Amino acid sequence: MIQEKKPITVIGVPMDLGAGRRGVDMGPSAIRYAMLKEKLVQLGFEVEDVGNLHVPTPEAYQVVDPKLKYLEEIASVCETLGKTVSEAVERGRFPLVLGGDHSIAIGTIAGAAKHRERLGLIWFDAHGDLNTGETTPSGNIHGMPLAVSLGYGHPALVNCLGFTPKVLPENVVLIGIRDLDEGERNLIRQLGIRVFTMHDIDRMGMGAVMEEALSIVTRGTDGVHLSLDLDGLDPKDAPGVGTPVEGGLTYRESHLAMEMLAEANVLTSAEFVEVNPILDNGNRTAKVAVALIESAFGKQVL
């Protein structure tokens, strides 16, 4: 459990500049509408919601570099987000960030890592998010935040909050992966990052995967950040995401992972990203996000 019931600060980041489809900017509102604050209060937490950071709309800006779309705007938002997360940590609070597309992880992880000697990172996702401007097939920066956090990518992103890298490869675990680009595969091999693909989860079971994952992210670290992309789940359970990939984590596998994180009592920050209400069915994906957040914060069946 997060036994001491650390007070929570909710930060919304309605970012869709990093994604290829519109709508994910409404993710924070959808998650709030699914009773996020009320459910956390029911679990005994003190919760403040500082609202949404300002994010420019794509229509107001030109794409300067097709390999790094909206680079300056995303870098600016992530810098502000990093400072906001850092301030929450300084006040002794748990930063819970709601996306928005996954490019926001650049800022969240920067703000969290600023206060840690060594930060562990659990990355739930269908994708590796390990592209750079050189390897990206799309130019969408939401496919780059993990590479950036490891110190690979454009200086405007890598140097968020003025230091790099934010995390080390040996303290990072990816879970639920089933769609990688060639450049991402190469970087994973080069850095020796532990990746649990869906094949691994099918063979080992989520319980064994999480035990190994927890041992990696807690080895020599003084905090663990959770970055959860809702497209890590199977589209049958989480249809409202921008880049769905068949054959993902089940609802129960995802809950078990969150429950084991809560039991380990290691989380120091978290973000839940890529909820796209336009592509959803009755706000189902946002409700799934809230249920997973509850489990991560210690909700149990019995």
Residue-wise pLDDT tens digits, 116-127: 999 999 999 999
Q: In this structure, which topology does domain 8-296 adopt according to CATH? A: Arginase; Chain A (3.40.800)
> Count of alpha carbons within 13 Å of 101, Cβ hemisphere only?
25
Instruction: Give strand pairing partners of 224.
Output: 120, 267
State yes or no: is 222 an active-site residue: no
Q: Which residues contact 21 (CB under 8 A, 6 or more apart)?
A: 242, 243, 276, 279
Phi, psi (rounded to 5 degrees) for 249? -65, 140
For residue 1, pLDDT beyond 90: no
Q: Kindly name the residue from 25, 73, 142, 271 that is annotated as catalytic.
A: 142
What is the average per-residue pLDDT within 198-221?
98
What is the average per-residue pLDDT within 159-181?
98
Helix (H, G, I), strand (E, B) or coil at 248: coil
State yes or no: is 231 an active-site residue: yes
Annotated binding site for Mn(2+): 102, 125, 127, 129, 229, 231
Give the model confidence (pLDDT) of 16-38 as tens digits: 999 999 999 999 999 999 999 99
Residue 4, amino acid = E
For residue 182, pLDDT beyond 90: yes
pLDDT band at 259 (very low <50, low <70, confident <90, very high): very high
Helix (H, G, I), strand (E, B) or coil at 244: coil
Annotated binding site: 102, 125, 127, 129, 229, 231
Q: Kindly name the residue from 73, 125, 179, 271 that is annotated as catalytic.
A: 125
State yes or no: is 129 an active-site residue: yes
Q: So what's the pLDDT on residue 123?
A: 99
For residue 261, pLDDT beyond 90: yes
Say how far apart CA 245 and CA 273 lie, in whole Å: 15
Q: So what's the pLDDT on residue 2?
A: 44
Q: So what's the pLDDT on residue 81?
A: 99
Helix (H, G, I), strand (E, B) or coil at 134: coil
Say how far apart CA 30 and CA 102 lie, in whole Å: 16
Q: Kindly name the residue from 101, 231, 259, 280 that is annotated as catalytic.
A: 231
Share of the chain above pLDDT 70, in %: 99
201: part of which helix (H) or strand (E)? Answer: helix 198-204
Instruction: Give strand pairing partners of 95.
Output: 9
State yes or no: is 179 an active-site residue: no
For residue 295, pLDDT beyond 60: yes
- CA 9 to chain centroid, in Å, comes to 16
Q: Kindly name the residue from 16, 73, 79, 229 that is annotated as catalytic.
A: 229
Give the model confidence (pLDDT) of 55-95 as tens digits: 999 988 999 999 999 999 999 999 999 999 999 999 999 99
Is residue 261 classed exposed, middle or buried when 0-12, 13-18 and 19+ CB atoms within 10 A define those classes? buried
For residue 4, pLDDT beyond 90: no
Is residue 121 classed exposed, middle or buried when 0-12, 13-18 and 19+ CB atoms within 10 A define those classes? buried
pLDDT band at 3 (very low <50, low <70, confident <90, very high): low
State yes or no: is 16 an active-site residue: no
Helix (H, G, I), strand (E, B) or coil at 125: coil
Report domain extents, the chain.
8-296
Say how far apart CA 209 and CA 35 lie, in whole Å: 30
What is the average per-residue pLDDT within 285-289?
98
Give the model confidence (pLDDT) of 135-161 as tens digits: 999 999 999 999 999 999 999 999 999
Rounded mean pLDDT of the chain? 97
